[in-house]
Structure 1
């Protein structure tokens, strides 16, 4: 499977792609270079193996990151979030797929659970970039599917500027497993469940997400994020 996961930039093709290039000239989401949405140099920044990280708020499961939250990976995550760069779901998702393939037990099915985001933030961004990238990752991997089962209750504030303790307090009890949700009885006994997010800072979001899933009898094997701050 690994040789099917792309390492290089995505492309626009055909007449539609040429027209888009005239209206919205392409710029790399990692460095701003003209002519491509994701250049080969920036792709290499996410091409290495995942590294183990240990956030301050320990979720109780191994946490892995593809890159540090700087340079091309940071700019790509921010562009996907704040600049409506939906095209970056392709390279970000492919990088997640490569990381997952190196971590997974290939004898078992793989379930990807995206970390939840605030509804207001998702609306502002035209959708959830974590879900988009995770969907791409699932599409590249054999015997893998994505299930959105985590939701945030109303009242969660934007975490920008909050310290570790405030982030934990902000999220405590506000991430839930809510319908529609599959029957989770014995769920993780038959599959590896990996929680996916874009940036790991204090670990508050992933810790509360793992707690919520455990309450629904879903055991998370690991957390994989694109960047660690």
Structure 2
């Protein structure tokens, strides 16, 4: 059956396109590097970290997951997020599980975009990251949503992105989160920091303090 499926839908790496595998060892190595500190153009008010620059396997995998229906890429991207969390804990940037529970809040997405993509790719990779962090019980909270009037941010300047999102990211108090939790906001790509900044602000408005922002790549 696997051979038949390969004839109909040939397997290729979501990071580099090499045939015969859905995710090759070379691309896995690219996503396994240490997280890097980021200073976005728009201040989020909390530390921002990235798995790496938005290039190579990271960029290709994010595009394939969002625009080409490669739902299987949620696993390697989720593994990269889980690895980054472990390394940030080892560096003392995030509290270890012995001191605080971990709540992960995925970035909001427009409903139309999620329907067109067959689901929310950021939510999918966050759930995969939570699985990789087992046996720790990681809370994944869909606490953020976009209000009416939010446009696609592609092509917008930093100022226009801020105006587009101002007051339009809505937050609901995460049901499972307690005040002692370490809360991490996760997105796939950080461009200006507008989405992260508005999301951190919205969560603060419902009593949730975000400890860090973590993204796959920085454009």
Match for residue 147 of structure 2? 153
- CA change 1:102–1:92 in 2 (3 A) is same
- CA change 1:154–1:219 in 2 (3 A) is same
1:28-177 pair list within 5 angstroms? 28-103=13-88, 104-106=94-96, 107=98, 108-141=100-133, 142-177=136-171
Please state how far the C-alpha of 1:118 moved relative to its aligned partner: 0.8
Counterpart-to-counterpart distance in 1, 2:212 and 2:4? 42
Q: State how many pairs are aligned.
A: 210
Counterpart-to-counterpart distance in 2, 1:140 and 1:72? 20
Q: Does 1:220 align with 2:210?
A: yes
Say what the alpha-carbon RMSD is for the aligned residues. Answer: 1.3
Please state how far the C-alpha of 1:18 moved relative to its aligned partner: 3.8
> Is the contact made by 2:187 and 2:216 (CA closer than 8 Å) also made in structure 1?
yes
Counterpart-to-counterpart distance in 2, 1:222 and 1:113? 11
Counterpart-to-counterpart distance in 2, 1:72 and 1:84? 16
Moved more, 100-109 or 49-58: 100-109
> Is the contact made by 2:104 and 2:140 (CA closer than 8 Å) also made in structure 1?
yes
Query: TM-score w.r.t. structure 1 length?
Result: 0.88
Paired residue secondary structure (1:190): coil
2:195 is aligned, of 184, 205, 222, to 205
Match for residue 9 of structure 1? none
Cα shift readout 1:151-178 (whole Å, capped 9, x = no counterpart)? 0012110000000000000000110114
Cα shift readout 1:86-120 (whole Å, capped 9, x = no counterpart)? 00001000010000111232221111000101111
Paired residue secondary structure (1:95): helix
Q: Does 1:196 align with 2:186?
A: yes
- CA change 1:115–1:18 in 2 (3 A) is same
Counterpart-to-counterpart distance in 1, 2:176 and 2:75? 30
Paired residue secondary structure (2:59): helix
Match for residue 12 of structure 1? none
Counterpart-to-counterpart distance in 2, 1:19 and 1:155? 46
Query: TM-score w.r.t. structure 2 length?
Result: 0.92
